[in-house]
């Protein structure tokens, strides 16, 4: 049977777009939906097999009201598509819902619901505690829920940031900064704190731990460019490298730095988080920390399947991140050798 990724590859679309089309969700044109459904039918996607479905899984995506578009990266949508695909491979139907407040258990549970996959990237601590009251099988995704009796599959953001800081240190960068948006969001806060601790543990970078560039708006906005200029002026020395909270902000930062007369990577290196496809459209192409969404999805679906089948243990799984090197980061050691 064909997969979402195979259909996406043949049509030149993203897996997320194919998933939206197949599930009748908004976000794709009617023309694209017809193309996807036509090819899915030809390839036998979703064709019934002898094995009966195992029931329905709720796939819940939590997103705060005020989360800016610059912080809604495509990783989330790619993850949703991968979760849907892996669930169907185990013969579960999938119901998707986006929410901005915590639902009751009755609201989550349907007539044939057997478990919930809860994408809780932006969920606060108090709301996470409330999830412990749910009696049906539930796996929390992209939030470690530390100290709570919840099954989780999460990204190790700290490891990802440490890997990035270590690389910049090896490349001879001694003045680092971190671009953090001016709004509160648990995942972004975790990444910022990881930057502080990663810099503090390296003597040559310890003075950089408080080099946090925070200003209103997205860096590409006219007003935010001036905000960036003021934030840079507050640093003791100009940064040789800036790590951004996600790839969309890194992409926007390239334009803002250019407007201020900086060249990337000649004057300053830039790195993003999540390796959004926009990284390949940037000039120069962006170095990024990549989250393996396919592995995250597979482990989450396998865990909910085990819980449905009677496994009552609490399992917390953490997934490491990869660093994808591209042209936006300069190796200062090489530059020094060329100068000599």
- Listed in sequence order, the DSSP H helices in 171-246 are 186-200, 222-233
pLDDT in tens, the chain (340 residues): 567 788 888 888 887 788 777 776 666 787 887 788 878 877 777 644 444 447 889 888 876 545 554 455 567 778 888 898 899 889 898 888 777 777 777 776 665 689 999 988 878 888 889 899 888 899 999 999 999 999 999 999 999 999 999 999 999 999 999 998 877 678 888 999 999 999 999 999 999 999 999 876 665 566 778 888 999 999 999 999 999 998 888 998 999 999 999 999 999 999 999 888 889 999 999 999 998 889 999 999 999 999 999 999 999 999 999 999 999 999 999 866 665 5
Name the nearest CA neighbour of 118 among 94, 145, 90, 138: 138
| Entry pTM | 0.79
Strands 176-179 and 212-213: parallel
d(CA 329, CA 170): 12
List the one residue out of 193, 246, 325, 218 whose CA is nearest residue 75. Answer: 246
- How far apart, in Å, are the Cα atoms of 175 and each of 171, 235, 330? 12, 10, 13
* pLDDT computed for residue 48 by the predictor: 43
Pairing of strands 113-119, 56-62: parallel
The pLDDT score that the predictor gives to residue 184 is 66
Q: Which residue ranges form the domains of the chain, and what is each CATH number?
A: 4-156+292-320 (3.40.50.2300), 157-290+324-339 (3.40.50.2300)
């Amino acid at each position: 049977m064909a997969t979402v990724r195979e259909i996406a590859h043949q049509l030149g679309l993203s897996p997320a777009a194919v998933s939206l089309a197949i599930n009748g969700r908004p976000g794709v044109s009617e023309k694209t939906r017809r193309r996807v459904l036509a090819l899915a039918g030809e390839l036998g996607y979703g064709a019934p097999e002898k094995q009966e479905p195992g029931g329905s899984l709720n796939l819940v995506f939590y997103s705060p009201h005020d989360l800016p578009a610059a912080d809604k990266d495509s990783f989330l949508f790619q993850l949703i598509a991968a979760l849907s695909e892996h669930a169907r491979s185990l013969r579960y139907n999938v119901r998707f819902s986006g929410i901005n407040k915590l639902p009751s258990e009755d609201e989550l549970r349907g007539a044939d619901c057997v478990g919930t996959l809860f994408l809780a990237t932006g969920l606060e601590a108090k709301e996470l505690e409330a999830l412990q009251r749910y009696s049906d099988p539930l796996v929390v995704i992209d939030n470690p829920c530390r100290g709570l009796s919840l099954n989780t599959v999460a990204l190790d953001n700290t490891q990802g940031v440490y890997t990035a800081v270590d690389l910049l240190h090896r490349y001879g960068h001694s003045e680092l900064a971190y671009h953090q948006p001016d709004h509160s969001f648990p995942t972004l806060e975790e990444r910022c704190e990881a930057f502080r601790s990663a810099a503090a543990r390296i003597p040559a970078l310890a003075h950089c731990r408080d080099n946090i560039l925070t200003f209103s708006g997205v860096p590409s906005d006219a007003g935010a460019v001036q905000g960036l200029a003021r934030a840079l002026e507050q640093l003791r020395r100009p940064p040789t490298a800036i790590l951004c909270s996600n790839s969309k902000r890194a992409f926007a930062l390239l334009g803002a730095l250019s407007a201020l007369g900086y060249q990337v990577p000649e004057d300053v290196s830039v790195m993003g988080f999540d390796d959004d496809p926009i990284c390949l459209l940037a000039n120069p192409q962006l170095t990024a920390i990549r989250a393996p969404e396919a592995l995250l999805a597979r482990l989450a679906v396998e865990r909910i399947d085990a819980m449905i089948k009677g496994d009552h243990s609490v399992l917390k799984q953490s997934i490491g991140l990869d660093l994808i090197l591209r042209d936006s980061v300069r190796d200062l050691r090489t530059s020094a050798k060329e100068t000599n």
